Structure formats: C-alpha cells, structure tokens
C-alpha cells in the first residue's frame, strides 16, 4: 500500500473548493453568533464559562485517545493557569499537563507556529510519562511509526508514518505552510480548508512518539482561532469524540490518497456541529447564571446539592430526567424528605415535573431569555 506521504505529489492535497465555499460562509456567520453570545457573559461569569468550555475540551480530547481525566483536577489546573483563585481540588500531573497545553493554545493562538511551540505543547502534555524515549522533541526511534490494532502476533496496520529521519524535513515544510496560509500570511487559506488540511497533514507526519492526536486537535484550535481573530472556544474535541469511529475511519482512508474532498467536507461538518454545541453551551451557561440569581437563596443544602449535580450533566440533563431515587442517592435523605423537597422545588419554579407515580421525573426549569 502506498501511504499519502510516499506519493510523488505529496503534500499537494486535491479537493473540490466549490463544495467547501458554502460551509466556509456558514462557519464565519456562526462564529459571529458565538462571539455575540459570549459578550452577554461578563466579569467573573466569563471566567467560569471559559473554564467550563476548556475543561470539557481537555476531557474529550483525552477521551478520544481512551484516557479518562478527573474533571475537578482539570478545572483546578485551568484556574491556576489563568491566575484565578483555586477551588482547592488536587492538581494531578496528567490533568495539569493537558490544562497547561490548553491554556497555552488559548493564550498564544495569534503567534506564528514554530517547532518550539509544538515541542512545548508536547512537553506540557506528556512530561508525566516516564515510558517515552523522547519528550518535547520530535521522535527519533528507528522503528517504523505505525498505527496498529488487533493481536500482537497478527496486527492490522492502519497507517505507517514517515521514518523518524524524515520528520524534521517534513515538519519544516509543514510549519512553513501553516504560517504562510494564516490570515495575515502571503498565501492565506479560508478557515475550514486550512484547518482540515493542516490536521490531516500533521497526523500523517505523526511527528511525536505519542500525543499526536491531542496535539493535532490543539493545532486545529489554533488554526480556527487565527481565522476569527480570537480563541474559538468551540467544542471541537467534544464533537469529534461523539463520532470517534468516523474520525479514525476518515483519517485512515485519506492517509492513502491525496484526493481529500471527502475528508475536508467531513471535517467541515464536524466544525459546524461543534459551533452549534458551543452556542447551546453558552446559552445553557447564561440560563444557569440566571437560575442561581433567582433561586440560590431559596434552596436548602440538599436541594442545592441536587441542583448542582443536575447542572453538571450539561444541557442534556439527566438521561430520562431526575427521579426521586436519584434524589435519594445524591442526598442520602429519606423518601418523605425527598417528596417534600421536590414538591417545594416545583412550586418555587426551579424544577418542572412530568409523568406520574413511578414515572415521575423532574427537569431544570430554565429561562430562555
């Protein structure tokens, strides 16, 4: 099999520009909507929104690689990185590393890409990993860099990247292209096109011993942020993780060809979906702030604990709604007290109720304005 990087025209990707143009327009339009929505969040609330969005992305970009992080530790690390007061949660090395990288991507989005940038991100992300031969530098090992699955004795090779000896030259060309095609560069590319091509190209070089997926998605965030002139804060990793199989299938398919129209269209669709997720998240955050403005002083400790737990589930809430059994499990209180607490929450307008008897469920009653 001939991988894309072995082909004579590498890395001259081919795609249907006309098919991408309407998606580029949608991206710019929705970017304006997101910026407008975020402007409605001010002061300390904007810091909290930023922490929530970045922590979710940190969790999801790691989940794509099968790594489960501690949310409280991620958020605590992010708060420290932004110079905000800590909530006292422990900051574990793995979570601290991804938080450092996310904040660096956020804070330095406008700066040109350099080899040092990528090495710095790699060091932040994987400094805790004592099993790697090379950290904060491109891979050097002589073994083939392969993505494999299946049995050890009969592996399936999904992709083989360029040998380590070629990586520096490949990355020199990639970094030069990335900077040349930014909005202020001599050969600017439109936002989605540049990001889609850049992500596929970076993943095809696979320049590091580990962490290439997370670094490639961080690079995509930088590319999108440069295109709109400020950190994008869109739920890119969240949306990719929801179609993790499709993501890997698309990468595998298009790492054997330079005709990448389907990849670019797929990636554009992911970014546009991510923007809608972000709009929903921002609206939910605003509604949450208004909810607490209205009800904070009316909740007893048990009710406050349950409400906080419901908000932690995000815009989709508890699957199937909150039940009395959920309330008892969260608070450890009696059924009689649970009944009184839930009745009180419905009467004050904090929760709405659906169903009867065993099918009774409760939902956050959020304002749309």
At residue 233 the predicted structure's pLDDT band, cuts being 50, 70 and 90, is: confident
SS3 318: coil
Quote the CA–CA distance of 41 and 286 in Å, as a whole number.
Answer: 7
| C-alpha Rg value of the chain to the nearest Å | 23
DSSP 17: H
| Structure token pair of residue 220 | 């995509």
Query: Is 90 exceeded by the pLDDT of residue 155?
Result: no
**Which of 229, 208, 222 lies closest to 105, judged by CA?**
222
pLDDT, mean of residues 124-137: 90
pLDDT of residue 228: 95
Question: Is CATH 2.60.200.30 correct for 4-284?
Answer: no
Q: Could you report the per-residue pLDDT of 182-225, keeping only the tens digit for each?
A: 999 999 999 999 999 999 999 999 999 999 999 999 999 999 99
At residue 2 the predicted structure's pLDDT band, cuts being 50, 70 and 90, is: confident
Whether the full predicted model's pTM is greater than 0.75, yes or no, is yes
| Structure token pair of residue 101 | 């990288």
Q: Which residues of 121-148 are buried (b: 16+ CB within 10 A; e: fewer)?
A: bbbbbbbeeeebeebbebbeeeeebebe
At residue 150 the predicted structure's pLDDT band, cuts being 50, 70 and 90, is: confident
pLDDT of residue 78: 94
pLDDT of residue 312: 86
Q: Could you report the per-residue pLDDT of 99-109, keeping only the tens digit for each?
A: 999 999 999 99
Q: Could you report the per-residue pLDDT of 82-98, keeping only the tens digit for each?
A: 988 776 677 789 999 99
Quote the CA–CA distance of 339 and 140 in Å, as a whole number.
Answer: 64
Q: Could you report the per-residue pLDDT of 262-279, keeping only the tens digit for each?
A: 999 999 999 999 999 999
The yes-or-no answer to whether 4-284 and 299-364 have a common fold is: no
Q: Which contiguous run of DSSP H or E holds residue 170?
A: helix 164-180
More confident site: 52 or 173: 173
**Which of 56, 68, 118, 128 lies closest to 97, judged by CA?**
128
Q: Which residues of 242-268 are buried (b: 16+ CB within 10 A; e: fewer)?
A: beeeebbebbeebbeebebeebbbbbb
pLDDT of residue 368: 63
Q: Parse the chain into domains and list their residue ranges.
A: 4-284, 299-364
Q: Could you report the per-residue pLDDT of 33-70, keeping only the tens digit for each?
A: 999 998 888 778 888 899 999 999 999 999 999 999 99
Quote the CA–CA distance of 66 and 4 in Å, as a whole number.
Answer: 26
pLDDT of residue 302: 97
- Residue tagged 């970045």 (tokens): 54
Pick the CATH number of 299-364 from 3.40.640.10, 1.10.8.590, 1.10.540.10, 1.10.10.10: 1.10.10.10
């Amino acid at each position: 099999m001939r991988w894309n990087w072995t082909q004579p025209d590498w890395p001259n990707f081919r795609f249907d520009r006309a098919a991408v143009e309407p998606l580029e327009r949608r991206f710019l339009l929705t970017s304006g909507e997101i910026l407008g929505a975020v402007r409605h969040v001010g002061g300390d609330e904007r810091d909290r929104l930023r922490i929530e969005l970045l922590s979710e992305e940190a969790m999801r970009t790691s989940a794509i690689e099968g790594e489960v992080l501690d949310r409280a530790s991620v958020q605590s690390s992010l708060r420290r990185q932004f110079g905000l007061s800590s909530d006292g949660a422990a900051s574990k090395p793995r979570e601290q590393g991804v938080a450092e990288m996310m904040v660096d991507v956020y804070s330095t989005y406008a700066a040109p890409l350099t080899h040092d940038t990528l090495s710095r991100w790699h060091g932040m992300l994987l400094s805790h990993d004592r099993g790697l031969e090379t950290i904060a530098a491109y891979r050097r090992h002589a073994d083939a860099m392969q993505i494999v699955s299946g049995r050890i004795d009969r592996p399936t090779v999904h992709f083989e990247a360029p040998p380590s000896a070629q990586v520096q030259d490949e990355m020199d060309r990639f970094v030069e292209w990335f900077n040349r095609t930014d909005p202020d560069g001599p050969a600017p590319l439109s936002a989605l096109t540049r990001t889609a091509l850049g992500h596929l190209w970076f993943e095809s070089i696979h320049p590091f011993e580990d962490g290439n997926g997370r670094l490639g998605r961080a690079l995509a965030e930088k590319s999108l942020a440069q295109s709109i002139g400020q950190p994008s804060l869109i739920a890119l990793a969240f949306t990719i993780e929801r179609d993790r199989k499709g993501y890997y299938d698309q990468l595998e398919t298009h790492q054997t060809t330079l005709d990448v129209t389907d990849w670019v269209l797929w990636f554009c669709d992911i970014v546009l979906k991510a923007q809608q997720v972000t709009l929903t998240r921002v609206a939910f955050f605003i509604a949450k702030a208004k909810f607490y403005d209205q009800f904070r002083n009316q909740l007893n400790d048990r009710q406050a604990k349950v409400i906080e737990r419901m908000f932690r589930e995000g815009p989709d809430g508890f699957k199937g709604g909150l039940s009395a059994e959920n309330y008892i499990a969260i608070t450890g209180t009696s059924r009689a007290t649970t009944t009184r607490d839930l009745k009180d929450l419905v009467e004050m307008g904090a929760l709405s109720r659906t169903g009867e008897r065993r099918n009774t469920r409760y939902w956050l009653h959020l304002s749309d304005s």
